[in-house]
């Protein structure tokens, strides 16, 4: 695996850990760093990363804590505390 991809994966783990400790600002910092690395290296972010981060405020989303998850019309709708919605097709 490429070094950049490894770093992104590691940052995702750190963001998840920080978010579950309630350290939202730290989680955001890791999310932003990972996005920047992806951009600079022209990598696409892992699907899990895209689903569990907010495009608007870069929060690492924890359903039930700082995000709500609904299933509607065959889509999963994730709403961040900042008010941003993300829709994904319902699968796996
Ligand atoms: Zn948000």
φ/ψ region of 46 (left if φ > 0, alpha if ψ in -120 to 50, else beta) reads beta
Cα of 1 to ligand 1 centre, how many Å?
Answer: 30
Cα(17)–Cα(23) distance, integer angstroms: 9
The pLDDT of residue 92: 57
Tell me the mean pLDDT in the region 87-91: 84
- The dihedral region occupied by 14, where left means phi > 0, alpha psi between -120 and 50, and beta the remainder, is alpha
Q: Where are the domains of the chain?
A: 3-89
92 marked among binding-site residues: no
* Model pLDDT for residues 49-76, shown as the tens digit of each residue: 999 999 999 999 999 999 999 998 899 9
pTM of this prediction? 0.90
Q: Is the pLDDT of residue 12 over 70?
A: yes
Q: Is 71 annotated as contributing to ligand binding? A: no
């Amino acid at each position: 695996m490429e070094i950049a991809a490894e770093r992104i994966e590691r940052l995702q783990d750190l963001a998840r850990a920080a978010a579950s400790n309630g350290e939202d600002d730290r989680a955001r910092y890791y999310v932003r760093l990972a996005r920047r690395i992806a951009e600079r290296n022209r990598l696409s972010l892992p699907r899990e990363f895209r689903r569990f981060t907010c495009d608007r405020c870069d929060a690492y989303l924890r359903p039930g804590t700082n995000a709500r998850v609904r299933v509607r019309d065959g889509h999963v709708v994730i709403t961040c505390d900042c008010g941003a919605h993300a829709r994904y097709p319902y699968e796996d």
